[in-house]
């Protein structure tokens, strides 16, 4: 049971990371900076709970807000570049954040034990859950509470005027600008919102894993972040969740016996989706088919 709850925690955290990229993709921006914001949220929230005795909820909020703040700072210069150049620029930011935490050595004595980031040794004393008597089920429910809150928030966003504005910018930014939409506000807002969600995911990850270091925030993790909404599709927030469940639950954990061959399967999956379902597995056509199936089921039940 502990094993399956651990998988559920991983899926929840990765779904949040995927949604942080999903918001950005709505505006047509492809960024690998999400892992940088993830790292900021992880380290900041862990420092607050471990070194300063914060409760985890305000610590997560501070980490998420700082992730959003740095995302906003990245958002303005990112407006000057597009496509491949934006990808390169955001990779550079992620590497900068990783190297920054690689060099951070800040320790202080807490209850007779030295705690805090220790440069190349990483950050090892993140014990909020254990120290407060939380078991694995408590942690899983706590993580999924935030998953549900973010999912509902993004579902509402998709159906609001703000979501329509973001999608209009993603469809054709010149047409959107000519209709009176402020591209700077739309794109920076999307980047900031993605940073907040990524920072939240990072904080949850740090406390779940109890250990982080600069190697945690790799390009592979950044690739996962953008792969979830690309594979699942940006027509609906459920697409990202479905892709995360498939990749982390089935491809990564279910096929663990394949070892490194899973990386090849992951690459093949992306290639297949981009060629056969370029709008994602759960695109508009698939969602209409699902709605017809459920509508047909209700009609049959009513008869």
Calpha distance 204→243 (Å, rounded):
20
Calpha distance 140→299 (Å, rounded):
37
Calpha distance 30→226 (Å, rounded):
8
pLDDT tens per residue, the chain (303 residues)?
A: 888 999 999 999 999 999 999 999 999 888 889 999 999 999 999 999 999 999 999 999 999 999 999 999 988 877 777 777 888 888 889 999 999 999 999 988 888 888 889 988 889 889 999 999 999 999 999 999 999 999 999 999 988 999 899 999 988 888 888 888 888 899 999 999 999 999 999 999 999 999 999 889 988 899 899 999 999 988 889 999 999 999 999 888 888 888 878 888 888 888 888 888 877 887 777 777 777 887 765 544 444
Q: How many helices and strands (H and E) does the chain possess?
A: 13, 2
Calpha distance 237→149 (Å, rounded):
12
Q: At what angle do helices 219-232 and 34-51 cross, to 10 degrees?
A: 120
Calpha distance 90→220 (Å, rounded):
14
pLDDT at position 85 is 80
pLDDT at position 269 is 87
Nearest to 186 by CA among 297, 18, 194, 63: 194
So where are the chain's domains?
2-217
Query: Residues 112, 115, 120, CA angle at the centre, nearest 5°?
Result: 140
């Amino acid at each position: 049971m502990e094993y399956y709850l651990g998988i559920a925690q991983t899926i929840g955290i990765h779904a949040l990371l995927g949604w942080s990229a999903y918001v950005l993709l709505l505006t047509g921006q492809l960024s690998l900076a999400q892992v940088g914001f993830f790292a900021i949220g992880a380290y900041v929230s862990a420092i607050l709970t471990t070194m300063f005795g914060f409760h985890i909820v305000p610590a997560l909020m501070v980490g998420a807000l700082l992730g959003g703040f740095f995302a906003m700072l990245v958002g303005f210069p990112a407006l000057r570049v597009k496509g491949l150049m934006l990808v390169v620029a955001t990779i550079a930011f992620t590497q900068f954040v990783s190297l920054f935490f690689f060099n951070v050595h800040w320790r202080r004595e807490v209850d007779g034990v030295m705690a805090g980031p220790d440069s190349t040794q990483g950050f090892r004393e993140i014990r909020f859950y254990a120290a407060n008597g939380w078991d694995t089920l408590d942690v899983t429910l706590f993580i999924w509470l935030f998953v549900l809150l973010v999912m509902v928030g993004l579902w509402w966003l998709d159906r609001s005027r703000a979501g329509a504005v973001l999608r209009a910018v993603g469809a054709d930014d010149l047409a959107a600008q000519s209709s009176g939409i402020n591209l700077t506000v739309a794109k920076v807002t999307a980047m900031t919102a993605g940073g907040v969600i990524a920072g939240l995911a990072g904080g949850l990850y740090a406390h779940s894993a109890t250990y982080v270091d600069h190697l945690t925030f790799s390009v592979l993790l950044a690739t996962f972040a953008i792969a979830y909404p690309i594979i699942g599709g940006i027509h609906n927030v459920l697409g990202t969740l479905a892709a995360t469940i498939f990749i982390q639950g089935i491809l990564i954990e279910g096929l663990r016996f394949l070892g490194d061959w899973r990386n090849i399967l992951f690459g093949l999956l992306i290639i297949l989706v981009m060629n056969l379902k370029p709008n994602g597995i759960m695109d508009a056509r698939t969602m209409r088919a699902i709605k017809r199936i459920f509508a047909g089921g209700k009609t049959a039940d009513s008869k």
